[in-house]
Amino acid sequence: MAQEQSPLTGIIEEDKVVIDFGEFEGKSVLEIADTRPEYYQFLLEQKDSGNFSIRRTKDKIFRLYIHQTFLN
């Protein structure tokens, strides 16, 4: 059976992607979706605008970044 894809992280499970900036640093995308839906919507808007990326770091964790100019 096919797994449902996240609108934000695609094929990577939302609990495996960690925010790497701001007041939510260290929280998973799934946690943000459950507790702060308005911020999750902001992240979706950043993705749609091309201002966002997910990278797998040396520690094997997927980290979500927003381009710095959009955080100021």
pLDDT digit string, tens, across residues 18-53: 999 999 999 999 999 999 999 999 999 999 999 999
User: Is 65 contained in some domain?
Assistant: yes
Domain assignment of residue 2, yes or no = no
Residue-range definition of the domain harbouring residue 42: 14-70
Is 45 inside a domain boundary? yes
Residue 5 lies in a domain: no
Give the separation between CA 58 and CA 24, rounded to whole angstroms.
Answer: 21
Place of tokens 């955080």: 71
9 within domain boundaries = no
**pLDDT tens digit string along 7-19?**
999 999 999 999 9
Number of structural domains in the chain: 1
Q: What is the pTM of this model?
A: 0.84
Q: Is position 1 within any domain?
A: no
- Strand-pairing partners, residue 18, are 28, 63
CB 25 within 8 A of CB 61: no
